[in-house]
Amino acid sequence: MKLLITGGAGFIGSNFIRYWLNKYPLDTIVNLDALTYAGNLENLKEIEENKNYKFIKGDICDADLVNKLVKGIDLIAHFAAETHVDRSVMGSSDFVRTNIKGTMVLLDAAKNNDNIRFHHVSTDEVFGSLDSNDSAFNERTPYAPRNPYSASKAASDHLVRAYFHTHKLPITISNCSNNFGPYQFPEKFFPLFITNLIEGKKVPVYGEGKNIRDWIYVDDHNAGVDAIIKKGKIGETYCLGGETELQNIDITKKILELMGKSGEMIEYVKDRPGHDFRYAMDITKAKNELGWEPEVSFEDGLKKTIEWYKNNEEWWRNIKSGKYQDYYKKQYSHELKK
């Protein structure tokens, strides 16, 4: 199979490419990524020489480029997005552009080229926010996004389904809960907290730290996407999650404990505006129809993740200092001059 992966230089996409080439070494992957602040080719260093892998620096909103790249492709797995909720609070435009327009450009290219199979990677945030006693989200939960990031992802999901109904494009969608693991950009909760503690800095807990997320180790998410690609029914949506609901403050205390730090390292800071209280996923459909379920326990995943950040200080220190982008300036200077 020949796959076009979008956003493969980011956190989940780079883990997906490694996972896929490891499991299906005869498949070919083209990775289209704009290398925004969140994209980092260091994430894929060990496979850059693989003859079945090719990187293209480009924007998913560039219809000419996308139309060229989809020729001969069997499947698009669409990971590219603006993903950080706090950034979407500061400004929506990149989110609307990449997440909505970019998805539309990819859908059009797929539709106009022999109805290429299209898998869209989405999030549990499109369903909104749960109270403590509400049932977990499932595939029939009405959409109720509450921040510009989730609103833009919700719009992209609707577009993907619209192309299935209107143009018979063979699509599938996954809505997954919060991921953690190696190569996550250190603006997100886990890598920010772990790297701050290695640096001897405090960790900023929003509000009282009572908000709840359902955490899944990144490889389990990618195994779920794999299961949908191989066994999912065309036109269907699958909810994926780790079945591990935890309050932010409890995770913070666990990270402090595993890293041998005291509660004095916690700094309670101003809450995120419109901070969704709780996300939780009911993954019964994926379990029953795909035979998929998460395999990595939260405790094991957290230990592996902390170890990874301890063993890869150069990777995240280059990001925190901004040095990682110097590489692209050299490598792609001809394009940046345009």
Nearer to ligand TDX, 195 or 211 (CB): 211
Question: How far apart (Å, rounded) are the C-alpha atoms in residues 185 and 142?
Answer: 30
Distances (CA, A) of 246 to 98, 114, 254: 30, 44, 11
Nearer to ligand TDX, 155 or 192 (CB): 192
The site partner of 102 among ligand TDX, ligand NAD, none (C-beta below 5 to 8 Å per kind) is ligand NAD
3-state SS, one letter per residue, for 75-92? EEEECCCCCCHHHHHHCC
Binding track over 256-285 against ligand TDX, x by CB under 6 A: ----------------x-------------
> Which residues bind to ligand NAD, rule: CB under 6 A?
6-7, 9-13, 33-36, 38-39, 59-61, 79-83, 98, 102, 121, 123, 153, 176, 178-179, 185
Question: Under DSSP, is residue 266 helix (H, G, I), strand (E, B) or coil?
Answer: strand
Choosing from 125, 214, 276, 282, the catalytic residue is 125
Question: Is there a catalytic annotation at residue 149?
Answer: yes
Give the footprint of ligand TDX on residues 167-206 (CB under 6 A): 178, 188-189, 192, 204-206
- Using CB under 6 A as the binding criterion, the count of chain residues that bind ligand TDX stands at 16
Question: Is there a catalytic annotation at residue 42?
Answer: no
DSSP state of 137: B
Q: Of how many residues is the chain composed?
A: 338
Is residue 88 part of the contact set for ligand TDX (CB under 6 A)? Answer: no
Question: Is there a catalytic annotation at residue 139?
Answer: no
DSSP calls for 263-315: GGGEEEEPPPTT---B--B--HHHHHHH-----S-HHHHHHHHHHHHHHTHHH
> What's the CA angle centered on 89, arms 86 and 90, to 5 degrees?
95
What residue ranges bind ligand TDX (CB under 6 A)? 83-85, 123, 125, 178, 188-189, 192, 204-206, 211, 213, 248, 272
